[in-house]
A = this chain, B = another copy of it.
Amino acid sequence: MNEHIPPDFQVPGFLAAGIAAGIKKTQVKDFALLFSEDPATAAGVFTANRVKAAPVLLSRERLKSGKARAILANSGCANACTGKKGIADGQTLSRRVASSLKIAPGEVLLASTGVIGKPLPLEIMEGCLPALVSSLSPQGLADAAQAIMTTDTKPKAVISRDRVNGEEVTVAGIAKGAGMISPRMATLLVFVLTDADISAGALRKALNEGVQGSFNRITVDGDMSTNDTLLVLANGRAKNRRILPGTPGFKKFSALLSGVLLSLARKTVADGEGVTKVVRIVVEGARTGTDAEKVVRAVANSPLVKTAFFGEDANWGRILCAVGYSGAPVDPDKVDIFFDQVQVARKGQAVGTETEEPATAVMKKGEYTVRIRLNQGKKMAYLFTTDFSFDYVKINASYRS
């Protein structure tokens, strides 16, 4: 068993599989299927990029019903910028898998990740569908987690359980997203399965809340992909009293789901391309929420700040510089900056050379917090970001070769 997969990684009533279909040139798993034995409630969140891959367009349309039973996903090819053929290919695959599973094609959700601009290898995929369907098993979620990986170095899998409305409910999720991880949904595939009985409206609401505090709070390179997809299926097997919006049960389920999403998001950012540091940027004391957001995104996406993180150089001047060009009307002479507990700047100026050594010690850690106090109001914002390393360049310069 893979060390990155939690023990007993399965959700009652769900089967899954992941196989090596040959979509990628290498002999690794690249084709995944998740299936609910019962009809299930479904919700999703997709990329805000105007260039949307075919599977995104199809899944978004199908989710309008609030129902789905299967997720068919592949790595190795994004099926993005492929026009009408891309849509037709997605429909063909949906019909084929639906027929095998004895469900409607509209109950199949699709997700793809990989190179943009190339058509799916449809014959290969159709040929492997029977093998994929026959591999379905309650334990197959671990294989699915591996099949959606691209430049990820490890599969991301999280499971959590809690009593909700009288019964134990399980929430399990898998994610991939080493490259192009950015705010407002990254190139990210995230699939969450739960046996909770929940209304479609409540599921959508819980998902949106959970995404705000997790995947929308991470950034690796500021790019936003054409294929970002987060899907949740809830099959009701737990037989809890149905979860409805605005009830105590909803709060509990929402916290459970948010916890799984946050945990997946942190694993995803820590496995970002070439990442050696995960840094939480916290902006406090902004006049408005928009100001806080502008500042935190400018700092978290600055290549100069990120290379300084990699170099373990407490160069707070670059941080203040990014605050200054963020577009927020900030008075730099009021700004304090901390590396964990070590204050390096007070009112926009150096605290003194004696903090250099303790600040550098903080930066040698794999995870730490940079706190920026604007001292101009009461709003805050945070983001998880990473360093920019030699390996980031290496991985991205040679991705397609």
- A residues sitting closer than 8 Å to B (CB atoms) are 48-52, 78, 80-83, 115-118, 179-180, 221-226, 302-304, 307-308, 310-311, 313, 315-318, 320-325, 329-333, 345, 347-350, 388-390, 392-394, 396-401
Contacts and interface: CB of A to CB of B under 8 A. Distances in A.
B83 A313 contact: no
Contacts of A52: 324
Given A81-B348, A345-B81, A349-B117, A49 B324 contact: yes
A321 B116 contact: yes
A350 B118 contact: yes
A302 B81 contact: no
A271 B304 CA distance: 17
**8 tightest A-B CB contacts, nearest first:** A116-B317, A311-B397, A51-B324, A307-B396, A49-B324, A224-B325, A51-B332, A117-B317
B321 A223 contact: yes
A358 to B, nearest CB: 16
Contacts of A81: 317, 320, 332, 345, 348-350
B223 A396 contact: no
B393 A221 contact: no
B307 A397 contact: yes
B399 A311 contact: yes
A378 to B, nearest CB: 20
Given A82-B350, A116-B316, A307-B393, 9 more contacts: A49-B325, A50-B323, A50-B330, A51-B321, A81-B320, A83-B348, A223-B322, A303-B388, A311-B398
A400 B310 contact: no
19 contacts: A50-B325, A50-B332, A51-B325, A81-B320, A83-B347, A116-B317, A116-B321, A117-B317, A180-B321, A221-B303, A222-B302, A223-B318, A223-B321, A224-B324, A226-B317, A310-B393, A310-B397, A388-B393, A393-B393
B332 A223 contact: no
A398 B49 contact: no
Contacts of A349: 81-83, 117
B324 A50 contact: yes
A172 B240 CA distance: 79
Nearest to A310: B397
A221 B388 CA distance: 12
Contact of A323 (B51, B115, B330, B397): B51
Contacts of A316: 116-117
A392 B115 contact: no
Contacts of A222: 302-303
A398 B325 CA distance: 23
